[in-house]
Structure 1
Amino acid sequence: MSELPSPPPDPDDISPWPDRVALLDERRRVLERLVGKSVGPARLLGLLLVVAAFEAGWALVGVGLRAVDDTLDGFNLVFAAFVGLVGVAILVPTLAVVAAEAREDRAVRGLLRSWTALDRDPRGDARFGRGWLNAGWLLVSLGCVAAGLLVCGTLSGAVEEGHRTPYSTLVYVLGAGIVPIIAGLAGLVNTVAHLRWLARTLDPVPAARRPGGAHR
């Protein structure tokens, strides 16, 4: 993950920009970087890769669990331990990436608020309203949720029919279904947060200046 831009200077300090044009120019460059990190194509691809990596690691863990369920002999135990360790070796760095991305997302949202508050530029900020990208985030996020619900639905169907489902299968299917659901919901939250930020940025009349606002 690349380094984030620095926070803007304190408004009470001496401005480092010679004029408003220079301020808006740097503000635009920083916001472009921050928006890219928040809802850019690379960020969306990263979400899909994280889900794919977790599913691959979890699938190996599930194979190991089912191998132990089948027969408790020496070969199955060795096989289960091997594939389980490989699965864990995939899951641990994947979870570390998820935690790092969550921290970065919080930092990006804080920087977006700080740099946006420096000045208003609704016309210039209109470039951040990339409709195709927002639609892509919504479609991918909803697709992840739907896929997770479909996976969990296969398990509930088997239980309702009275089949005896091994505990290893229950654990595997629930994990395989819940992760895409969580990832999809996180994507939806991220998209909605970006659209709310964009709406406030493009609003020609700040809320504080409307009738009944703080500045009347």
Structure 2
Amino acid sequence: MPRRDLPPPPPPEDLRPWLDGAAVRADRARILRQLGRLNLGLDRLLLLWAVAAVFALGWSFVGMALMSFESPEAFSAVFGVVFATLGVGVLVPAGFWFARGARRDREVRRLLHAWAAWERDPAADAGLRAPGLSLAWLLASFVPAALGLCVAFASAASARPGESTYGEVAYFVGLGMVLWITGLLGLAKAGAHYRWAVRAFGGATGR
């Protein structure tokens, strides 16, 4: 059964002869537009960045815990335990949040594939490729991916024994990896949607 906040799947094949073709084609075009927004809408991009920000916050606590454990001060280990607890308390819910969003995205893609293959309508399909949305995701995801790589590699390359602690290096490398993975996810989603649209709708021109 699909999620209640998602459109239904296409009607079964054995019901096609009994359905109004014009009504089904209109529903198909409307549902594909809705699924396209659910897949590559601005809110989905902002949600991806919000999840990344939560991961970055959680890793910041972990990084502060690592630096506290390396400190020679008497009470630093106590602060390290507190920061580690806060980090786990943030990262675990963020992981569940990310997994839930990934399951929802898989369901959206499954519905997109099913509706795109059902009763094709070239006239209506001409405006469903949405290359502008794919390009927006591509450009918006390239920046955090490139920035994350720069932060991670610069932090590791600039580390010097006796000057930088393992906690500091792990902190900045981890933040860079969060940015890099966030950008990669966005790039992969934009590329996958564009490839699917080309295969599903052929050479139709997008809006």
The normalised TM-score by structure 2 is 0.86
Task: Report the residue type matching 2:158 in the other structure.
Answer: A
For 1:121 and 1:128, the matched residues in 2 are separated by: 11
CA contact (8 A) 1:53 1:90 kept: yes
CA contact (8 A) 1:123 1:202 kept: no
> Which residue does the alignment assign to 1:166?
165
Q: Report how far residue 167 of structure 1 moved.
A: 2.3
Q: Report how far residue 19 of structure 1 moved.
A: 1.9
CA contact (8 A) 2:55 2:91 kept: yes
Q: Report how far residue 181 of structure 1 moved.
A: 1.3
Task: Report the residue type matching 1:5 in the other structure.
Answer: P
CA contact (8 A) 1:54 1:94 kept: yes
Tell me whether 1:134 sits opposite 2:134 in the alignment: yes
Q: Percent identity?
A: 37
* Secondary structure, aligned partner of 2:62: helix
Task: Report the residue type matching 1:189 in the other structure.
Answer: A
For 1:83 and 1:180, the matched residues in 2 are separated by: 21
Q: Deviations over 1:10-68 (max 9, x none)?
A: 21x12386422101111122212211221111111111111111111111211121122
Q: Deviations over 1:126-150 (max 9, x none)?
A: 3334444322201121111111111
Residue 16 to residue 88, structure 1, CA distance change in 2 (3 Å): farther
Structure 1 unaligned blocks of 5 or more = 206-216
> Which residue does the alignment assign to 2:65?
64
Residue 16 to residue 82, structure 1, CA distance change in 2 (3 Å): farther
For 1:190 and 1:90, the matched residues in 2 are separated by: 25
> Which residue does the alignment assign to 1:46?
47
CA contact (8 A) 2:151 2:176 kept: yes
For 2:163 and 2:121, the matched residues in 1 are separated by: 62
Equivalenced residue count is 202
* Secondary structure, aligned partner of 2:16: coil
